[in-house]
Amino acid sequence: MTKLSLLAGAAMTALVSATAAQAEDTIKVGILHSLSGTMAISETTLKDAMLMLIEEQNKNGGLLGKQLEAVVVDPASDWPLFAEKARELLEVHEVAAVFGNWTSVSRKSVLPVFEELNGLLFYPVQYEGEESQRNVFYTGAAPNQQAIPAVDYLLENEGVERWVLAGTDYVYPRTTNKILEAYLKSLGVAEEDIMINYTPFGHSDWQTIVSDIKAFGSAGKKTAVVSTINGDANVPFYKELGNQGVSAEDIPVVAFSVGEEELAGLDTAPLVGHLAAWNYFMSVDTEENDEFIEAWHGFIGDEDRVTNDPMEAHYIGFNMWLKAVEKAGTTDADAVIDSIIGVSVPNLSGGFSAMMPNHHITKPVLVGEIQDDGQFDIVWETTGLVAGDAWSDYLPDSANLIADWRAPMSCGNFDVAKGQCGGVSQ
């Protein structure tokens, strides 16, 4: 071998070593949100929020002496593609944790990937419950942290007697409405006073459905719509309510997937008075929230950009992950899973949220009324924090189930009646 060849080989080895060393100098964080397709209206902002949080953490010194590096992919509102992109993040990019997903069908798509590759997923959106997976941390609301308190509010404060359960046709609305139907019937609501309707993603022709809702509400009993409609289908739905003169005084709508970001694309005048139930609103009056909003506007460069509940869930989940990694002294998934239970971090409502043994967190529950500026006036909130319940008390198959990922139980579906793990599939 010539001297020139030896020098070239040495140079190439040095370059490869330098590149590997540089890669090892960062901790990669995966961002798995739809930036195109029907869910982009909701998920693009969550990508931006994660980029802000990562940038701020790097300014504060990073993590374990290393800078964080964001790896962004676009699963494009395509549920099977979510699984492919999750695998890419974990196998190709070797990210330490993933923050992402919105719909439950996308989350269900990636669960086998995170279990197989022992990755970490922080899921920031309200969902139907009936799940507790070792590799997932549910920082959005379970039904007992959103849907059931919203129904209680309508019962106690609006005197609602008839119920329209309207949702997009996938697992989250169907399971949530199954829980709500059982809950309402347990309170004595008759079957004929419950109307259930499902529409596909991106549904745009709401004329007939809104007419049916009006007819259902004309029976002389106070009627409300509980909406689990997701994504950009909300825009024509609310427009049609306005077109047909359905006001909040006549038939109030309480939504679980409409927040400040979705309202930013609507003419809110006909929507004033309708409701949403979340665990955070931009209008929350706390020092922590003021600082978050200021940081957001500074990062995004637009003071008209809003904040919303799933952004706060990412804020909580990201800070929980940081704290768990620091506590464990490593980003190793098993060590983080063990160290994160019991971790408590500030939320934006002025309190603290803690990670429970079932991988759900404690959260306040708020009901907000839509204002003409696209913000929410908070009309009701729980007196304290509500711990997320992975398994509903109102469904017979899950009423006896609990989840606890601490040793020695380490189980996501322990049947207390049978005294064994594996009550239903996780």
Q: What is the pLDDT of residues 355-409, one digit of tens each?
A: 999 999 999 999 999 999 999 999 999 999 999 999 999 999 999 999 999 999 9
Kindly state the helix (H) or strand (E) to which residue 295 belongs, with its residue range: helix 287-300
pLDDT of 269 reads 82
Q: How confident is the model at residue 15 (pLDDT cuts 50, 70, 90)?
A: very low
Domains along the sequence of the chain with CATH: 20-142+287-363 (3.40.50.2300), 144-284+368-387 (3.40.50.2300)
Q: Is 13's pLDDT higher than 80?
A: no
DSSP symbols for 304-340: T----HHHHHHHHHHHHHHHHHHHHTS--HHHHHHHH
Q: Is 349's pLDDT higher than 90?
A: yes
For the chain, give the percent of residues with pLDDT over 70. 93
pLDDT of 41 reads 87
Within 10 A of 188 (CB to CB), how many other CB atoms are there? 7
Please state, rounded to an integer, the average pLDDT across all residues of the chain: 92
191 contact partners, CB below 8 Å, separation of at least 6: 185
pLDDT of 232 reads 82
Find how far residue 49's CA is from the centre of its chain. Answer: 13
Q: How confident is the model at residue 6 (pLDDT cuts 50, 70, 90)?
A: very low
pLDDT of 22 reads 45
pLDDT digits (tens, 9 = 90+) for 33-50: 999 998 998 899 999 999
Q: Is 7's pLDDT higher than 90?
A: no
pLDDT digits (tens, 9 = 90+) for 178-214: 999 999 999 999 999 999 999 999 999 999 999 999 9
Residue identified by tokens 């706060």 is 312
pLDDT of 230 reads 86
Lowest mean pLDDT among 64-68, 231-235, 371-375: 231-235
Q: List Cα–Cα distances, 2 to 5, 8, 13, 156, 350, in angstroms.
A: 5, 10, 17, 87, 69
Q: Is the model more confident about 239 or about 327?
A: 327
pLDDT digits (tens, 9 = 90+) for 24-37: 799 999 999 999 99
Instruction: Return the SS3 of 155.
Output: helix
Q: How confident is the model at residue 424 (pLDDT cuts 50, 70, 90)?
A: low
Q: How confident is the model at residue 423 (pLDDT cuts 50, 70, 90)?
A: low
pLDDT digits (tens, 9 = 90+) for 204-231: 999 999 999 999 999 999 999 999 998 8
Q: Is the model more confident about 306 or about 1?
A: 306
Q: Kindly compute the dihedral angle of the four CA atoms of residues 370, 372, 376, 379, in this order, to the nearest 10 degrees.
A: -60
